[in-house]
Amino acid sequence: MAIDAHSHLFPTMEVSGSEGWWNTYFRLCAALTGRSVGDMRKIVTDNYECSLDHLIGSMDRAGITKSIIYSTDWGLANPPWGGSEVSHEEQDRILLEAVKAYPDRLFGVFCIDPRREEAVKLLERAVREWGMIGLKIHPSPGFYPNDKRAYLLYEKALELNIRVVIHTGPEVGFGNLKYGQPIHIDDVAVDFPDLTIQIAHGGLFAYWQEAAQICAFRPNVCVDLAGMQPWFRRDPLGFYRVLKTMIALIGPYRILWGSDYPVIEQYVNEEAWLKAYLDPPELVKSAGLELTEREKKLITGENAARIWGLT
């Protein structure tokens, strides 16, 4: 049983991000690969595919039985990096239709910016009427997760008995790094000890130690490693050393595998990313860094099933 604890559904590039976001993304890809911005734009746009059928096909090829898919709410980010060209309401509709089409395989998590009017009311509707199973907070547009306006959402999440996912690490198209520092989640974990919190992306490359430290001391916090694919591809040994260190600090029971599909699909697809955990490269095995069979099962599926209540 493999469960993707961090996925998305962006049928078109317009749903995924604004023109400003994509322009920044192409520039970053060019800087990382040595290609021109024009080349990266063509490569990505010519190969972009994230329809519902493509998502299910990708899951089937990888052997993923269930995926937790998140909406995004970047609409209040400062222009020209504001979020999707598609309204927040339209993104919710796309997510809802996908969950209805595959109720045994796809599980929706509602994302809302706490600065929006009626944010709490919208969250309650998403859970009670639409069947969403969690709340995602994405601070990159310009707020911290310990913002008191976000606390109103956490209080409602406790009332609704749902989990909360909080983005950490940088956001490609906008937002200062400071908003994605995991340390701000510590206040939330302390003030809401009965709230289950998932640190998305494990802080990524800059803040993984901070994320691991919070998990180590806050039993209501877990972490997903979606988005770490570039690190694994560039330096498998380095990534695995970090993964084993996180297991040593946290234990294997609160680390979740996730893909961040389709954000890095063209770089490391779901099938290859899952295999990286289940059957890593020989140099990882030779270095004695391979996960135990128990750790593999926990991280790639059993933890998500337990934490999210998926049966």
Question: Beta strand pairing status for 163-167 and 106-111?
Answer: unpaired
CATH label of the domain that carries residue 244: 3.20.20.140
Structure token pair of residue 223? 């972490």
Backbone angles phi, psi at 75, to 5 degrees: -65, -20
Per-residue burial over 26-37, b if 16 or more Cβ lie within 10 Å, else e, is beebbeeeeeee
Distance between CA atoms of residues 110 and 71, nearest Å: 6
Angle between helices 148-160 and 183-191 (to 10 degrees): 50
Q: How far apart are CA 150 and CA 153, in angstroms?
A: 5
Residues 42-93 have pLDDT tens digits of 888 877 778 899 999 999 999 999 999 998 888 777 655 555 556 777 788 8
What's the DSSP call for residue 261?
B
Low pLDDT (below 70) residues in the chain: 14-16, 78-86, 173-175
For residue 208, give both structure tokens: 């993984």
221: which strand partners? 197
The span from the CA of 306 to the CA of 150, in Å, is 26
Number of H helices, E strands in the chain: 15, 8
Rounded to 5°, the CA angle 305-308-311 comes to 45
pTM of the model: 0.93
Q: Is the peptide bond before 262 cis (omega within 30 degrees of 0)?
A: yes
Number of domains in the chain: 1
Q: Which of 176, 172, 173, 228 is nearest to 199 (CA)?
A: 228
Q: Are 237 and 284 in contact (CB under 8 A)?
A: yes
C-alpha distances in Å from residue 130, one per residue of 87, 158, 253: 18, 18, 30
> Are the C-beta atoms of 168 and 201 separated by less than 8 Å?
yes
Supply the pLDDT for residue 239.
Answer: 96
Contact between 232 and 276 (Cβ < 8 Å): yes
Domain hosting residue 15, numbered range: 3-308
SS3 75: coil
- What's CA 193's distance to the chain center, in Å? 22
pLDDT value of position 87: 72
